[in-house]
Amino acid sequence: VARAPYVLATISHKGGTGRTTAALMLAWCWAASGRKVTFIDADPIRSASLLALDENHRCTWPNVQFASGMDSLAAPLTGEIMVIDCPNLLDCANARPVLEESDGIILTCLPDPLSIRTVPAAASAIEAAKAVNPRLELLGILISIYNERDSVHNAMLARLRDAHQDLLLEPVIPYQPEVRDWPLHPGTAPPPGPARGAYAALTETLDPWIAVARAV
């Protein structure tokens, strides 16, 4: 009997935190290392589809099955890992079914003072979801667009590492201009470079969690 896939969603309470990019990068990196990945674009804004689908509305990434829309959540779960681009948590009607289906969630966050102040609200939404889905586990907070030349980013990151090291996923993801420009080439693989390298390392950080969850 095939084992159920591990269901991982990227979430945030604030827009523009790199949620879609993180979901796509993780899916691509896992698939590139040979895992069978199902990707679900559950955000009605459909950024992930705009980015990952080519002019024939197909995702040609090896080992990735791509689906758009909430209906795909109701279909039988396939693959080893399912990555979901969750809608903004404020969009409760669309985010709730994703949280109910997920095993693990990653909260994406920018290393700026305002983004960090939205984390407690996201944490409450996660707690509420756990009442419905006790399996749900916050894998951690991902700093998704870190500019090493920005002194505020550095200060925020130092503070996070100090106060919330257990919650902070490593490595943090560096800012890379080619990633910002990736949507100029829909359907292509994520651009190589430091950001994609960090996402590949992050899949290795996450692999033990997935192995444990799938073993029980």
Ligand X SMILES: Nc1ncnc2c1ncn2[C@@H]1O[C@H](COP(=O)(O)OP(=O)(O)O)[C@@H](O)[C@H]1O
Residues that bind Mg ion (CB under 5 A): 19-20, 47
Give the Cβ contact number of residue 66 at 10 Å.
21
CA distances from 112 to 13, 119, 159 (A): 14, 11, 11
Query: Which of 176, 203, 206, 210 contacts ligand X by CB under 6 A?
Result: 176
Q: CA 120, 124, 130: angle at the middle one, nearest 5? A: 140
Tell me the closest approach of the beta carbon of residue 3 to ligand X, in angstroms.
29
Partner whose binding site includes residue 16, from ligand X, Mg ion, none (CB under 5 to 8 Å by kind) = ligand X
Asked if 22 and 139 touch (Cβ cutoff 8 Å), the reply is no
Partner whose binding site includes residue 49, from ligand X, Mg ion, none (CB under 5 to 8 Å by kind) = none
Q: According to the binding rule CB under 6 A, does residue 49 interact with ligand X?
A: no
CA distances from 73 to 22, 41, 90, 96 (A): 19, 10, 19, 12
Query: Which of 7, 8, 13, 18 contacts ligand X by CB under 6 A?
Result: 18
Minimum CB distance to ligand X smaller for 16 or for 34: 16
Looking at residue 129, the DSSP 8-state letter turns out to be: H
Stretch that binds ligand X, among 1-9, 94-102, 112-120, 168-176 (CB under 6 A): 168-176
> How far apart are alpha carbons 157 and 200 in whole angstroms?
21
Partner whose binding site includes residue 203, from Mg ion, ligand X, none (CB under 5 to 8 Å by kind) = none
Of 81-100, which residues contact ligand X (CB under 6 A)?
none
Looking at residue 95, the DSSP 8-state letter turns out to be: H
Residues of this chain that bind ligand X (CB under 6 A): 12, 15-21, 47, 108, 144-145, 173, 175-176, 179-180, 195
